[in-house]
Structure 1
Amino acid sequence: MSEVDSYAREPTRRHDMTVNAPQPYNAEPPVEIIRSHYVTPTDYFYVRNHAPVPDINPHKYKFVVDGMVAKPREVSLHELKAKYTHHTVMCTLMCAGNRRTEMSNLKTVKGVGWGNAALSNAIWKGVRLCDVLEDVGAEMDNPHLHVDFYGGDPCVEENYKKGYGSSIPMSKAADPQGDVILAFEMNGEPLPRDHGFPVRVIVPGYIGARSVKWLKSITVKSDESESFFQRRDYKVFLPSVNWDNVNDWWDRTPSLAGLSVQAAITNPKLSEAIATGSSYTVSGYALSGGNRIVRVDISLDGGKSWQTARIFPGEEKGHDNRYWAWAFWDFHVDQFPSPCEIVCKALDIGNNGMPDDLAQIWNLRGVMNNSWHHVSVPAKSKY
């Protein structure tokens, strides 16, 4: 089958998504949609694909668990659901490339362009990865091991080899409080094809790239995945690293895992005019890799002076008081001073914040942009 024909059976999608790449399909929802729903409607959940979407028969589906385990085996969808206790976790997934377009506007980077909506929140149901690993006799107390996942998407690029792969350390995989699950439901329904049907990995607190879709294999190894997406992608380099010298940096730069503190403004949108002196509520989201967001700061003068926003109560907690879902915030202004530049930044309970200068964290892959978020607001007549 040709590469063009392989996209002939793609799922049906919404027409109001912002499509950043049509093949493979990569799209984010309108920012006002994600901010209007604490749990993102499934058909508005952002989509990050690296290849055509597989069409898998759930009755024939199995994944393999092998590697450094005592009892390697195949697991069917029926067995996964019937044998293991089901667990539910609310988790916000975010692409490491969220806000990449801002970086590229500063200096061109390589990768799919994303605005500030390459993230979404859902309720996932499945079985704990640690239960499956225990069942096959993995050395779950060995912190030096890694758990390697491969998905069933038919990657067409030659250097992807086995397809899409990624891995996480055993310390995360084996921790019951880490809430890593093999999910088969999303928001109370079977996973849609775009989101990994029939089974995907959900790794709360980590970049979305580690939550492998269309799970094909789980392998316990002594080193991280050899996949292109683990070894040659999703890494943060110094701003001085470029495509001429990056080969000196791939192997000595760690692969991305946990999320940084992130916050962004969803209302107003970019270039949205607000009448001078009018009443307006600035709003947005914030999250961290399992830590609670304790403060969101807002500036209406480009970062010269700051005030605190109201953080909504009800951020969903995982085990051990870990916050896998985002927080929403708003900041009401009685008399809006447009034109102006709004800036937001956040702080989590570990006192982790966001860098002020995008140039300091610019990297040629355009990942992990968590610099202060700026929105310039033009003025318009109040009448």
Structure 2
Amino acid sequence: MANFQCFTLAKRLSLDANLKRAGLEITRLCRSTSLPTAGNTYNPNAGSRTFHTNSEDSHQQGKRSKWRDSSAKKSALVCALASAAGAGLYWTVSKDKNSDKHPKTWQGLRLSLPGKVFAAEIQPGVLRSGLPTYSAADVAAHDSKEKGIWVIYGNGVYDITEYVSQHPGGTKILMAAGKSIEPFWEVYSVHKNDEIFEIMESYRIGNITEVPEKSKSSDANDPYKDEPERSPLLIPSSQKPFNAEPPVQMLADQFLTPNDMFYVRNHLPVPCVCIDNFTLDLKLSTGSPSLTFQQLTKDFPKRSVTAAIQCAGNRRSEMVKVKPVKGLNWGSAAISNAKFSGVSLNELLLRYNVDIDTVRAKYIVFEGLDTQPDGSPYGASIPLELARLLKNDIIVAYEMNGQPLPRDHGYPLRIIIPGVVGARQVKWLNKIYFSPEESTSHWQRRDYKGFNASTDWHNVDFDKSVSISQLPVISAICDPVEGQELEEGAEEVTLKGYAWSGGGRGIIRVDVSADGGKTWHEATLKPNGQTPYHSYAWTLWEADIPLPKGETKTELVVKAVDVSYNVQPDSVAGIWNLRGCLSNAWHRVNVKVPLVEA
């Protein structure tokens, strides 16, 4: 039994960042066998199978202990691994069968240098004979600890229920419950190594032969027939037009949101743009120049700004709990952070002798290539007064995180107006002009406006309400998630999340609570590298806080404070509005805390 435990721990703890701790635990168990543990290595080059100690005296004397049966061989091998881990050495699995450095094999393993183990080539996810075949529906039905946790990799089906508690990444593995784990590993690419594959294959229970069909429309008249490919990790709120957010558990993992994990907000079909025919058209008092994409990328210096973009409806799902609203049912991940690069709007205008500080107009208007059935484009505007304040920060962007803008995010151009709601940051930008009135677009005049909690559709007057521009302070807990079960007997919990405020107002404090807001603790803020009054990027935060004693469930809460001491309201009820915009109340997450069984 001890040998089996050694083997299991060696596999499961080989990924632990603290290898010394893992090694000591394995070594402790191995000592229950009669085989030596400390400082032993297997020498595959000996004429007969031998077990050498590292002591000089023993080596000179050439003492040998014959390995007479496979059970003893396996026990000694496991204990050799344990001692290597206990010494803080790193052992790895190699899948290079023909490696000149490690050519020897034994018992399905290749061994060479002391403390290193090289496994026979692993082929994860390939069809394996002798195993049952499951359907995608079978796997999808196993998405919880109660039902069992199954995942798919390639053509393999794996029951990882028993492994979840050992996962070094904590409960993030549950995001893949009941579905393919591959999209998550595209983000967390550290998993793509033979050590992980070896562990995973030990949980193999069957095969799956179904191949997911691409959801491309076969209708030639469907305006959505040419939509771009999207990450399967995105959680859709609607398909046509496509709108989706990433899993909230992944949101605070990286300061810059990967392009394929950036939330998507489309109002119309994604246009197909031929870059050779594309122009950005300016309508100015000095003329109406049209610039090609090449001119924009070659004739102007590249400027960059790192900024969070947030949908006005982020966290709308919390307002729905108070009273129904009209709008996509966004969770708390309709916000993302990226580095945008392109041409400074101010420098672009100055090239044509237009000074934004002296223009006689009230608004600057932006239009995109995405159009309604009647041909009218998506459009937006911001007051010229605001544009003047932000003139050195507004970017006509053609890059996102160092890559060309993805189609879903405006390829080839998007106007980036940092600190302003995403609805005004027009994608597929192809026209800029000044106007005495705001954009006549539906989404400027009849949407994205705020109202009090007593205004409903029977008495709403959109003309009286000011269009949303800069957004209020907001924060959210990304980890743990709603309904999550914490570790049995946990005395504290680690919270992670984001905080942000519109208008470039930096975050100066994030308060967190583990008892519904009765007591508060300050979270540790991760600097975003920007100044307090030009802080367009979000601020990620983390906190370890004590849990209430003796409680089996509790409410985690977060609220943020910006540099102007703007704070979040404590409840959604007072800020409810018929469109479900500006949902920035304290963010609350309910979790379970199982007590230790006596």
TM-score normalised per structure 2 = 0.60
- Give the aligned partner of residue 240 of structure 1: 454
- Give the aligned partner of residue 19 of structure 1: 236
2:362 alignment partner, one of 136, 142, 145 = 145
- Give the aligned partner of residue 38 of structure 1: 255
Are the equivalent residues in 2 in contact too, given 1:91–1:121 (CA < 8 A)?
yes
* Counterparts in 2 of 1:170 and 1:134: CA distance versus 1, 3 Å: farther
- Give the aligned partner of residue 494 of structure 2: 281
1:282 partner amino acid: L
Superposition deviation, residue 362 in structure 1 = 0.3
Superposition deviation, residue 312 in structure 1 = 1.3
1:260 aligned to 2:472? yes
* Counterparts in 2 of 1:105 and 1:4: CA distance versus 1, 3 Å: farther
> What CA distance in whole angstroms lies between the structure 1 residues aligned with 2:221 and 2:425?
26
1:345 aligned to 2:569? no
Are the equivalent residues in 1 in contact too, given 2:533–2:563 (CA < 8 A)?
no
- 3-state SS of the aligned residue for 1:111? coil
Superposition deviation, residue 60 in structure 1 = 0.9
> What CA distance in whole angstroms lies between the structure 1 residues aligned with 2:382 and 2:288?
19
1:256 partner amino acid: I
Superposition deviation, residue 137 in structure 1 = 3.8
> What CA distance in whole angstroms lies between the structure 1 residues aligned with 2:536 and 2:548?
34
2:513 partner amino acid: S
1:340 partner amino acid: T
- Give the aligned partner of residue 108 of structure 1: 324
**CA-atom RMSD in angstroms:** 2.0
1:199 aligned to 2:413? yes
Are the equivalent residues in 1 in contact too, given 2:420–2:469 (CA < 8 A)?
yes
User: Per-residue CA shift, 1:247-282, capped at 9, x if unaligned?
Assistant: xx2111100000110001111101111134344201
User: Per-residue CA shift, 1:193-245, capped at 9, x if unaligned?
Assistant: 00000011011000011110001211111111111111100000011111111
Superposition deviation, residue 341 in structure 1 = 0.7
Superposition deviation, residue 142 in structure 1 = 4.4
* Counterparts in 2 of 1:335 and 1:103: CA distance versus 1, 3 Å: closer
Are the equivalent residues in 2 in contact too, given 1:130–1:176 (CA < 8 A)?
no
> What CA distance in whole angstroms lies between the structure 2 residues aligned with 1:52 and 1:277?
48
- Give the aligned partner of residue 172 of structure 1: 386
> What CA distance in whole angstroms lies between the structure 1 residues aligned with 2:341 and 2:390?
15
- Give the aligned partner of residue 309 of structure 1: 523
1:99 alignment partner, one of 292, 311, 315 = 315
Are the equivalent residues in 2 in contact too, given 1:148–1:167 (CA < 8 A)?
yes
User: Per-residue CA shift, 1:40-83, capped at 9, x if unaligned?
Assistant: 111100000011111101111002111x5222211111111122
* Counterparts in 2 of 1:301 and 1:88: CA distance versus 1, 3 Å: same
Higher helix proportion (structure 1 or 2): 2
* Counterparts in 2 of 1:191 and 1:302: CA distance versus 1, 3 Å: same
* Counterparts in 2 of 1:242 and 1:335: CA distance versus 1, 3 Å: closer
* Counterparts in 2 of 1:34 and 1:25: CA distance versus 1, 3 Å: same
1:322 alignment partner, one of 531, 534, 543 = 534
Are the equivalent residues in 1 in contact too, given 2:243–2:266 (CA < 8 A)?
yes
> What CA distance in whole angstroms lies between the structure 1 residues aligned with 2:357 and 2:345?
14
- 3-state SS of the aligned residue for 2:276? coil
Q: Which of structures 1 and 2 has the bigger CA Rg?
A: 2
Superposition deviation, residue 163 in structure 1 = 1.8
Are the equivalent residues in 2 in contact too, given 1:133–1:174 (CA < 8 A)?
no
What stretches of structure 2 of length at least 5 have no aligned partner?
Answer: 1-217
1:188 alignment partner, one of 396, 399, 402 = 402
> What CA distance in whole angstroms lies between the structure 2 residues aligned with 1:333 and 1:304?
13
Q: Which moved more, 1:74-83 or 1:233-242?
A: 74-83
Superposition deviation, residue 376 in structure 1 = 1.1
2:301 alignment partner, one of 63, 73, 85 = 85
* Counterparts in 2 of 1:165 and 1:3: CA distance versus 1, 3 Å: farther
2:339 alignment partner, one of 116, 123, 131 = 123
- Give the aligned partner of residue 216 of structure 1: 430
Are the equivalent residues in 1 in contact too, given 2:313–2:582 (CA < 8 A)?
yes
> What CA distance in whole angstroms lies between the structure 1 residues aligned with 2:473 and 2:398?
28
- 3-state SS of the aligned residue for 1:251? helix
User: Per-residue CA shift, 1:321-360, capped at 9, x if unaligned?
Assistant: 5100000111103556541111111101111111112111
Superposition deviation, residue 316 in structure 1 = 3.1
> What CA distance in whole angstroms lies between the structure 1 residues aligned with 2:501 and 2:490?
34
> What CA distance in whole angstroms lies between the structure 2 residues aligned with 1:281 and 1:297?
13
> What CA distance in whole angstroms lies between the structure 2 residues aligned with 1:28 and 1:335?
30
- Give the aligned partner of residue 580 of structure 2: 366
Bigger RCO (CA 8 Å, 6+ sep): 1
Superposition deviation, residue 133 in structure 1 = 2.2
Q: Percent identity?
A: 40
* Counterparts in 2 of 1:317 and 1:33: CA distance versus 1, 3 Å: same
2:275 partner amino acid: P
Equivalenced residue count is 375
TM-score normalised per structure 1 = 0.93
1:207 partner amino acid: V
Superposition deviation, residue 177 in structure 1 = 5.6
1:253 partner amino acid: S
Are the equivalent residues in 1 in contact too, given 2:345–2:396 (CA < 8 A)?
yes
Superposition deviation, residue 287 in structure 1 = 0.5
> What CA distance in whole angstroms lies between the structure 2 residues aligned with 1:341 and 1:47?
30
* Counterparts in 2 of 1:28 and 1:382: CA distance versus 1, 3 Å: farther
